[in-house]
Structure 1
Amino acid sequence: MKTALFVALLGILLVPVLGMSAMQLSIGTGPWSGGYFPVGEALAKVLNKHIPGMEAVTTPAVGSAHALELVNSGEVSLAIVGLATAHFGVRGQREFARKYDNVGFVMAGMDAGQSLVTRAVSSIKTFADVKGSRLAANAPASKALLLAALKLYGIGEADVHVTLMSFAEQIAALREETIDAGFLAVSPRNIDVAGLASEYPVRILGLDSTKAKLFEAVPDWTPVAVKAGTYPGQNQDLLVPGTHTAVLAHWQAESAMIYRIVKAIIEHGKE
């Protein structure tokens, strides 16, 4: 009863929409080699299966900021966006030069984790070991998450060399050893990281328990658990830097369709 009431209220509160067809739906995710894209693909399958006539497709984005821009402009119907990115984006703060506030909150998404991935032979064994290292992050929001994790270990931006490059470029750079570690999406499971780990031994860094608690105390971030065995050679559970996510829609999205989408996710999300 509570779930049904929540969904009903959500449908009433959302403003009626222009940007969403009754039959076609585009879902802004993240890059193909990240964690948001497979979640978006799974979401599209659930909606196509359980909403008659629905034609949902995924639209890869460079990162959460790009996905927010796409849903703000109406180029996609929904977007999976990091909660911190949504917070700063609608206010025109941090990396955003203007407000992206033509959006509405639909529902909470999954927690998404990233961490530094390096070759197992590297001297980088913890976040405390990266001073002077060549690191990479895929977008400004990802870089902010990385720097927040490093700060817990007393390492500032001036202590490392961070380059922005896509997840695919980071994996290629790790193969070519032109970076020391890449800040890659590792939760939900990333098949590209798994593929890299099957080629040669890698090390995925985890937060120690004390630092993880400090990380959790910051509203924008959260530690995310990666179970042992998620990746080849990963023999223990890890806590990695992560962010809460949200599903957003354009502020004019059709309330009846939003209701059907949320209802389908709540009832069939475990599929």
Structure 2
Amino acid sequence: MNISTVKKVFAAGAALVFSAALLTGCGGDNAAAKKFLNIGTGGTAGTYYPIGGAIAEVLNKDIQGMNASAQSTGASVANINMLADGSIDLATVQNDITYYAVNGTEMFKDKKVEGLQGIASLYPETCQFVTLQSSGIKSLAELKGKRVAVGAAGSGVEANARQILAAYGITYDDIDEQFLSFAEGASALKDGNVDVAILTAGYPTASVQDIASQNPLRLLPVDDAVADGLIAKYPFYTKTVIPAGTYAGFNEAVPGVSVMAMLVAGKTVDESMGYDITKAIFSNLDRLQAAHAVGKQIMKDTAKNGMSLPMNAGAEKFFAGK
């Protein structure tokens, strides 16, 4: 091979190396532009998981370069802790739990969490006070001296029970409180071991439907004036009416209060991303409705109801129509 040929081969090889470097550089830029978003939900049998999965699908479809994935978690309290340590970026959380986290109260007493941002309230989770019609109890004001399953110790349900009873001037000194999960409380109610069982969940709730299938039940209302006072003190509550016929054999509409399942972002979600996330979700509500029945209650008109923390600036911008 003569000198001229060697020079040509060398030049061609150098060109290939340079082209490869350019391609690698382009690939690096694309990788840098890729947006990875981890979404915390709840248990696979609950509501948060399918809704979170649908949100991930919507974001991947609508936001260029997005790679969002939903993961099963221990739900609200676990999600707050994971947002705080940066292991997830976005999560479904009850708005009362978020309120406790940002204010350092209840289960977050002396453990205030910084940097949480509201994206949107999604759908109501209603505080339900369940009794059997045979108990004769028709009002929360009648619970003094009664046996009440108030939720598991340290749970969000127990905090709801304590706050709502206090609005009626009732403390645990006035009742026989029993710290039972709702599954335990439901069994105790059916067996006659408690007079009232309390839960916080979207309605109709399967465990309450189970009670109604075996025993005529009654849901106890939260009076309008009491609800107003409660909301003034705890801004995460919203008014709700459980429609007549929600549970078999009980055909009365029941006024009550709910907390909201909401979408919360951590520090990793900036204004631009917050806007894109919010726009994508509220432009694809049909996909969320297809994922779970509660999706039908997710609406732009109610997306700021019970907002219990400062909103992400991009989400705020979207709802302001800017």
**How would you bin the TM-score normalised by the shorter chain?**
0.7 to 0.9
The alpha carbon displacement at 1:203 in A equals 1.4
Instruction: Name whichever structure is richer in helix by fraction.
Output: 2
Q: Does 1:73 align with 2:85?
A: yes
What is the deviation of 1:184? 1.2
Matched, 1:104 2:113: no
TM-superposition CA deviations, 1:201-223 (whole Å, max 9, x none): 22111123333333343324222
| CA displacement 1:69-112 (0-9 Å, x = unmatched) | 23323454432323333223123233323122243322233332
Distance of 1:92 and 1:50 partners within structure 2:
32
Aligned CA distance change for structure 1 residues 224 and 254 (closer, same or farther; 3 Å): same
The aligned counterpart of 1:246 is 262
User: What's the counterpart of residue 213 of structure 1?
Assistant: 228
Deviation at 1:22, TM superposition (A): 4.6
Q: What amino acid maps onto 1:246 in structure 2?
A: M
Q: Given the alignment, which residue of 171, 174, 190 partners 2:186?
A: 171
Q: Which residue in the other structure is 2:70 paired with?
A: 56
Answer yes or no: is the 8 Å Cα contact 2:216–2:250 preserved in 1: no
Kindly indicate which of the two structures has a greater share of residues assigned to strand.
Answer: 1
| Higher mean C-alpha deviation, range 245-254 or range 155-164 | 245-254
Q: Residue type matched to 2:176 in 1?
A: H
Q: 2:132 aligns with which of 113, 119, 122?
A: 119
1:122 and 1:31, CA in 2 relative to 1: closer, same or farther beyond 3 A? farther
**Among 25, 40, 47, which residue is 1:38 paired with?**
47
Aligned residue pairs: how many? Answer: 245
Task: Name the CA distance, whole Å, in 1 between partners of 2:232 and 2:266.
Answer: 30
8 Å Cα contact 2:118/2:264 also seen in 1: yes
Matches within 5 A, 1:1-271: 22=35, 25-29=38-42, 37-48=46-57, 51-52=60-61, 54-61=68-75, 64-96=76-108, 97-135=110-148, 136-138=150-152, 139-218=154-233, 219-253=235-269, 258-270=274-286, 271=289
For the 8 Å contact 1:41–1:58, the answer to whether it is kept is: no
Q: Which has the higher contact order (CA 8 A, sep 6+)?
A: 1
Root-mean-square deviation over aligned CA pairs: 3.0
Relative to structure 1, the CA distance from residue 210 to residue 90 in structure 2 (aligned partners, 3 Å threshold; closer, same or farther) is closer
Using the TM superposition, give the Cα deviation of residue 266 of structure 1 relative to its aligned residue in structure 2, in angstroms.
0.6
Amino acid at match of 1:183: I
- Name the CA shift for 1:229/1:242 in 2 (closer, same or farther; >3 Å): same
2:93–2:262 Cα contact (<8 Å) kept: yes
Q: Secondary structure in 2 aligned to 1:51?
A: helix
| Paired AA for residue 91 in structure 2 | A
Q: CA deviation at 1:256?
A: 6.6
| Separation (CA, whole Å) in 1 of partners of 2:191 and 2:102 | 39
Instruction: Check conservation: 2:115, 2:267, Cα contact below 8 A.
Output: yes
Unaligned runs of 5+ in 2: 1-33, 62-66, 290-322
Superposed displacement of residue 260, structure 1: 4.5
Instruction: Sort the Cα spacing of 1:198 and 1:60 in 2 relative to 1 into closer, same or farther, 3 A.
Output: farther
CA distance 1:162–1:76, change in 2 (3 Å) = farther
**Distance in 1 separating the partners of 2:225 and 2:236:** 18
Gaps of 5+ in 1: 1-20
CA displacement 1:28-52 (0-9 Å, x = unmatched): 34795xxxx3254234235425634
| Residues 163/65 of structure 1: CA separation in 2 closer, same or farther (3 Å cut) | farther
Q: Taking structure 1 as the reference length, what is the TM-score of the superposition?
A: 0.75
Equivalent-residue separation in structure 2 for 1:201 and 1:213 (angstroms): 30
Change (3 A) 1:102 1:24: closer
Alpha-carbon distance change, 120 to 236 in structure 1, aligned in 2, over 3 angstroms = same
Question: Which position in structure 1 is the counterpart of 2:27?
Answer: none
Q: Which moved more, 1:120-129 or 1:256-265?
A: 256-265
SS of the residue corresponding to residue 217 of structure 1 reads helix
Preserved CA contact (<8 Å) 2:39 2:88: yes
Identity rate of aligned residues, in percent?
Answer: 24
